[in-house]
Structure 1
Amino acid sequence: MTFQDRAIGAASRLTSDAWELFRDCPFVRMQLGERLAKLPDFSGEAARAVSARAEGILKQIDEIDAWSLPQTVGIPLRQARYAMEMRRNAGAWYPTVFDPTGIGFYGLFAPSAYCGGFVLQMFIDSLTRQQFATGGDLDRYLGVLHDLAQCVDRMAERTAEQAVAGMRIPKPQLPAARAIIAGFKGRLKQLVPDGTERFASGLRSDELRFRAEATRRVADCIEPAFARWADVLDQDYEDKAPQGVGMAQYEGGREIYRGLIRLHTTLDLEAEEIHEIGLERIARIHERMKSIRSQCGLADDPKAYLEFVRNDARFSAATPEAVTAVFQRYIDRMDRAYSSAFREPLKVGYGAAPLPKALEGSMTFGFYSPAKPGQEQAQYLFNGGHLTAVPLHTIAALNFHELVPGHHLHLSMQYGNDALLPISRNAFCNAFNEGWAEYAGHLAGELGLYETPEEQYGRCALDIFLTCRLVVDTGMNALGWSLERAREFMRENTSMSDAEIRSETLRYACDIPAQALAYKLGDTELIRAREVSRAKLGGRFDLRDFHARVLAFGAMPLPDLHRYLNG
């Protein structure tokens, strides 16, 4: 056996080891369509155990030169390395930030939309769709109800332990945190399956017993767990909570924020550098927006221009159903242009639908939900409450970011590519995922899909909003900005409503710091990679081939993508 053969064998084994650890993540198991048989342990002890396993695998991976191996072996090994990097700090960071999803969404506090709220939403949604074919399914479901109560208790315990250590949810975030807990409490009766369509005919005699026991576990275990969590956030907690926000105010927070920047962007940038990049880009976008406004004589009056757009029936909707129809307008438009930029046809349907009410108050826009058992069509779940109250000229850009050619195109091709190893088929890298989605929004403009000045302005509006994140995320978490200073900056530079600005700034400062930096840094790297490839190939460059190469192996760190594309 040659040295190369031994290296390939070791790489394959380590990739498999990394996959076994990574597949234990709740988000990955849900994406695999696995039935919930057991929920994860969200304790600090469990986080430290995960870190130890990840660190052991990382040390072995770093002994192998992945780039000397065939791409089909070396790239999955690099993806495995990044997956282990996401997990290696889970234990050390646990008192300050923790990652219940398992894919790097480290959040400061559990009762927040994108951290604990997101993962609990996944669990409850899965349970409310579950089908029962055997008596074992019934018993497993009851076991998962018990586990759900433990998950909530672990989150409550962590919240209390943070408070004892002097780390409390800032006062401005407390109302949203309490609302999230209350919102989930209001949904718990859905965990008792009703009707008979979810039960196989042979289980009819067990239904009454099963429902009675499920009702008991919800009432005696899960509801009290949520009540205990709510009790942690009592008046004494609020009295001692800080008014200020951001990671730098917490012990070790500044250094962990640096680690989160590296994790989410995969780039070696300091907070100050990112801050300046954001300021420079915002100035350029403002010039473009002013140019568009000048076409109707409103160059120096952004508010009047927004009113002009608001009064256009094409860009308004009174109901969530009407918002869905606006999304469909751009879905249809992209369908007509698809083959000019991509070779592989889409295999999974997609659409848009309203976000669950429990999350409306703490999510500005929403999130992409891939197809899964019981939900055969992928969906972008949008905040209907917000979108029925604002002009919809940004929906084109949002649609192209979230669906096609953005998240849905990337993820459906990645998840559906059976030729990939499991670690690649289920790879997650925030800089790649969000960078591709924003690149897709830019690409839509190059394809002429923003047909009206209003839609072009909407693209700029979304662009400047996402670019503001580079300024306010770093400002609040590293540079000493107050929450009000961040909000005033966003008021001055975006057309977002006060409600949107409130939820967004709390997302950066109190929920998942640094995650929002990936969007506009990621798309820049993808555009740069494309232009390097174009210059290298000259007349042989084909946009469809470039996109096929970028998506061929799934998500990966951006430096690895550059090396793969130009190696």
Structure 2
Amino acid sequence: MRRALYERNLPLMSTPQSTAAEVVVSTMADELWQHHLSMDPYLQMRSGVATERLPLRTIDEAERDTALGRNLLARCKAVEAVPINDSARVTLALIRDHAERLERSAELWHARFPVTPYQLFDLNIALTQVLPTVSPTKEAGRLLALAEDLAVAVETMDGKLVRMQQQGWVLPAPAFAGSIATLQGLKALAEQALTRTDAGARVSRVRDELVLTAFDRLLARLDSAEYRASAPSTVGLSQFPGGAEAYGELARQSVTYAIDPEQVHRHGVEQLSSYDEQKAELRASLGFPDEADFLRYLRATGRLHCPTAQDVEDLYLKHISRMEPLVPQLFSATPKAPYGVARLDPAFEAGMSYGYYEPPTDAVPVGNYRYNGSGLEDRAQLNAATLIFHELIPGHHFHIARESEDPSLPKFRSQIPIYGAYNEGWAEYAASLAVELGLLDDPYDRYGHLVHQSFVCSRLVADTGLNALGMSLDEAAGWIRRNSFESEQQIASETLRYSTDWPGQALGYRLGYEQFWAARREAESELETAFDVRAFHEIVLGSGGRPLPMVRDDVRQWVGSITSKP
């Protein structure tokens, strides 16, 4: 059995005046943090901790997660009836939520295909940011251990495909090309990372006899006639045994509350109809009742695309410069860390649809939006204002950087990005603040904002349609094509992301956005002239990421504290 990576006892977040129950809560919080840190190279990298071993994602690991979840739930139950302070009470609620997710780990292990691009994120981190930094001469033992783990991790993927196939789960045929291309790229990275003049004979032997051989076996399975013959031509989880239930749980974990897929699907269609009307009205005001004519005009005038990566960066910075002086109107507290815009390493751009927000670390103490500067002829920039407000300020940076800087939060709350619907929902809400601030006064920026909202709503339709309602890839692609400026390559990537790679995740963008706005509208209605948007933002951001129902409860409690005053 593998030894624990982080066995040391860290100081508890308690004081001499803490009750015994609060110390228990603090202990559980630390255990959760240590557990996640020990299994996640990305968290280790962010925390400045050397990665000694790699996660294998075996069923045994999933079962240990389940056992930990059950243990924590039992301990939560013992504490929940005991009086504790408000901060500990919030932490306890979040521990329970984390524990409930862990408890389902073994049950959901078979519901994630291990060879799809997003599921290979850990391996990508290991090969691009962990192994290349290990010194073969000074850290020979560590390099060898990581190489051996890499081989086992790839073997585990192969074994998992076999086990899933026995349970009636086979990777859908449309996902083969992307999975194989991603694995071939990772194999090349592995060979490069383990081929060094001073690596030593043992590392070279592990590379040749274990790592590369494991990749070859896995790729051979995906290319075998036997496996391909059993692969369904259709996508979506509901076609597999227990798939509908698995999708319901994955969607619940992503959104942080239970959803009805059919209801969400209908809601998405209704929202798209509303945005169609708004776009048509705006186009007509610009003299383009026909959308095709409008797109031709945008392309001809250079409004749709940027010719160079520097032009993309300059456009983002222009929008940020307009937002910056208005921030004090909306926020009473902001992160200490600076922020900026930086291009992705061009070597990795082909495998990434968009860019991403990169939180500050000790090594790079700046929150950066790492944008994709490739394929600009097909990468529409009309929504650049909405995108950069989502990714940087007042979106991801104001949430993630501030959260990670808060010493009052236990590390499992400040460092683990588990609540996708809060994360993406906040960023969507924050980007929409540009409307009330008047930053979308240019009608083309405003149209780009409407297109962005349409795209996010089309995800509601496609994700639920593909996984719960029997929608085909072509049908889902049609919804995205009609409601976005995405290229055909991007549309193909997106539909596979929803249906075979990360089902349920894309729902959090729009549903999270709606929850934040619903909380605000409710507070505005109750408080009327006493409503303070800066105070509202402090309530929703101050405790960091959490399930959306907790955000609504926090806002209602805040409103009640104001309305109850004489």
Matching of residue 173 in structure 1 with residue 175 in structure 2: yes
Task: Quote how far apart the aligned CAs of 1:292 are.
Answer: 1.4
Which residue of structure 2 lines up, in the alignment, with residue 146 of structure 1?
148
**SS of residue in 1 equivalent to 2:370:** strand
Matching of residue 310 in structure 1 with residue 312 in structure 2: no
Trace 1:424-443 onto structure 2 (pairs within 5 A): 424-427=413-416, 428-443=418-433
Trace 1:376-387 onto structure 2 (pairs within 5 A): 376-387=365-376
| Correspondence for 1:329 among 298, 318, 323 | 318
| Correspondence for 2:76 among 61, 66, 70 | 61
**SS of residue in 2 equivalent to 1:334:** helix
Which residue of structure 2 lines up, in the alignment, with residue 201 of structure 1?
none
TM-score w.r.t. structure 1 length? Answer: 0.88
Which residue of structure 2 lines up, in the alignment, with residue 560 of structure 1?
550
CA distance in 2, matches of 1:340, 1:150: 53
Structure 1 residues 163, 322: CA separation in 2 closer, same or farther (over 3 Å shift)? farther
Which residue of structure 2 lines up, in the alignment, with residue 395 of structure 1?
384
Partner AA of 2:537 in structure 1:
H
CA distances 1:287-336 after superposition (whole Å, capped 9, x unpaired):
1111211122112x222222222233454223434333332222333323
| Correspondence for 1:114 among 118, 131, 141 | 118
Structure 1 residues 354, 172: CA separation in 2 closer, same or farther (over 3 Å shift)? farther
CA distances 1:129-172 after superposition (whole Å, capped 9, x unpaired):
6365x966443233222222222221222123323443221111
| Correspondence for 1:18 among 12, 19, 32 | 32
Cα RMSD, aligned residues only: 2.6
**SS of residue in 2 equivalent to 1:162:** helix
CA distance in 2, matches of 1:186, 1:321: 30
Trace 1:149-164 onto structure 2 (pairs within 5 A): 149-164=151-166
CA distance in 2, matches of 1:221, 1:355: 31
**SS of residue in 2 equivalent to 1:481:** coil
Task: Quote how far apart the aligned CAs of 1:244 are.
Answer: 0.3
**Runs of 5+ in structure 1 lacking a partner?**
98-108, 195-207
Which residue of structure 2 lines up, in the alignment, with residue 448 of structure 1?
438
Which residue of structure 1 lines up, in the alignment, with residue 15 of structure 2?
none
Alpha carbons 1:309, 1:391 under 8 Å: kept: no
Alpha carbons 2:128, 2:189 under 8 Å: kept: no
Structure 1 residues 360, 167: CA separation in 2 closer, same or farther (over 3 Å shift)? farther
Task: Quote how far apart the aligned CAs of 1:356 are.
Answer: 5.4
**SS of residue in 2 equivalent to 1:515:** coil
State, as a whole percentage, how many aligned pairs show the same letter.
Answer: 30
Structure 1 residues 223, 445: CA separation in 2 closer, same or farther (over 3 Å shift)? farther
TM-score w.r.t. structure 2 length? Answer: 0.88
Which residue of structure 2 lines up, in the alignment, with residue 101 of structure 1?
none
Structure 1 residues 13, 128: CA separation in 2 closer, same or farther (over 3 Å shift)? closer
Which residue of structure 1 lines up, in the alignment, with residue 329 of structure 2?
340
Task: Quote how far apart the aligned CAs of 1:46 are.
Answer: 1.4
Trace 1:204-223 onto structure 2 (pairs within 5 A): 209-210=198-199, 214-215=203-204, 217-223=206-212
**Runs of 5+ in structure 2 lacking a partner?**
1-17, 558-566
Task: Quote how far apart the aligned CAs of 1:66 are.
Answer: 8.0
Matching of residue 33 in structure 1 with residue 23 in structure 2: no
Task: Quote how far apart the aligned CAs of 1:278 are.
Answer: 0.8
Which residue of structure 2 lines up, in the alignment, with residue 294 of structure 1?
284
Which residue of structure 2 lines up, in the alignment, with residue 100 of structure 1?
none
Which residue of structure 1 lines up, in the alignment, with residue 219 of structure 2?
230
Partner AA of 1:78 in structure 2:
A
**SS of residue in 1 equivalent to 2:340:** strand
Task: Quote how far apart the aligned CAs of 1:110 are.
Answer: 1.8
Alpha carbons 1:192, 1:211 under 8 Å: kept: no
Pairs aligned (count): 537
Matching of residue 191 in structure 1 with residue 188 in structure 2: no
Partner AA of 2:190 in structure 1:
L
Partner AA of 1:372 in structure 2:
T
Structure 1 residues 322, 191: CA separation in 2 closer, same or farther (over 3 Å shift)? farther
Task: Quote how far apart the aligned CAs of 1:509 are.
Answer: 0.5
CA distance in 2, matches of 1:449, 1:193: 51
Which residue of structure 1 lines up, in the alignment, with residue 6 of structure 2?
none
Alpha carbons 1:17, 1:57 under 8 Å: kept: no
Which residue of structure 2 lines up, in the alignment, with residue 517 of structure 1?
507
Which residue of structure 1 lines up, in the alignment, with residue 126 of structure 2?
123
Which deviates more, 268-277 or 509-518? 268-277
Which residue of structure 1 lines up, in the alignment, with residue 523 of structure 2?
533
Alpha carbons 1:176, 1:362 under 8 Å: kept: no
Task: Quote how far apart the aligned CAs of 1:254 are.
Answer: 0.4
Structure 1 residues 140, 131: CA separation in 2 closer, same or farther (over 3 Å shift)? closer
Alpha carbons 1:323, 1:388 under 8 Å: kept: no
**SS of residue in 1 equivalent to 2:154:** helix
Which residue of structure 2 lines up, in the alignment, with residue 203 of structure 1?
none
Which residue of structure 1 lines up, in the alignment, with residue 87 of structure 2?
72
Matching of residue 250 in structure 1 with residue 252 in structure 2: no
Task: Quote how far apart the aligned CAs of 1:557 are.
Answer: 0.4
Task: Quote how far apart the aligned CAs of 1:215 are.
Answer: 5.0
Which deviates more, 122-131 or 499-508? 122-131
Task: Quote how far apart the aligned CAs of 1:419 are.
Answer: 2.2
CA distance in 1, matches of 2:489, 2:411: 40
Structure 1 residues 561, 63: CA separation in 2 closer, same or farther (over 3 Å shift)? farther
Partner AA of 2:142 in structure 1:
R
CA distance in 2, matches of 1:373, 1:159: 38
Alpha carbons 2:252, 2:259 under 8 Å: kept: yes
Structure 1 residues 512, 359: CA separation in 2 closer, same or farther (over 3 Å shift)? farther
CA distance in 2, matches of 1:129, 1:368: 22
**SS of residue in 1 equivalent to 2:110:** coil
CA distance in 1, matches of 2:77, 2:252: 18
Which deviates more, 476-485 or 137-146? 137-146
Task: Quote how far apart the aligned CAs of 1:478 are.
Answer: 0.6
CA distance in 1, matches of 2:338, 2:344: 18
Structure 1 residues 25, 455: CA separation in 2 closer, same or farther (over 3 Å shift)? farther
CA distance in 2, matches of 1:248, 1:510: 11
CA distance in 1, matches of 2:443, 2:182: 39
CA distance in 2, matches of 1:162, 1:383: 35
Task: Quote how far apart the aligned CAs of 1:6 are.
Answer: 4.5
Which residue of structure 2 lines up, in the alignment, with residue 81 of structure 1?
96
Alpha carbons 2:425, 2:508 under 8 Å: kept: yes
Task: Quote how far apart the aligned CAs of 1:240 are.
Answer: 2.6
Partner AA of 1:80 in structure 2:
I
Which residue of structure 2 lines up, in the alignment, with residue 274 of structure 1?
264
**SS of residue in 2 equivalent to 1:379:** strand
Partner AA of 1:111 in structure 2:
V
Which residue of structure 2 lines up, in the alignment, with residue 491 of structure 1?
481
Alpha carbons 2:25, 2:92 under 8 Å: kept: yes
Which deviates more, 181-190 or 553-562? 181-190
Alpha carbons 1:189, 1:218 under 8 Å: kept: yes
Which deviates more, 462-471 or 151-160? 151-160
Structure 1 residues 505, 242: CA separation in 2 closer, same or farther (over 3 Å shift)? same
Trace 1:416-431 onto structure 2 (pairs within 5 A): 416-427=405-416, 428-431=418-421
CA distance in 1, matches of 2:134, 2:167: 43
Structure 1 residues 58, 342: CA separation in 2 closer, same or farther (over 3 Å shift)? same
Structure 1 residues 318, 142: CA separation in 2 closer, same or farther (over 3 Å shift)? farther
CA distance in 2, matches of 1:494, 1:67: 52
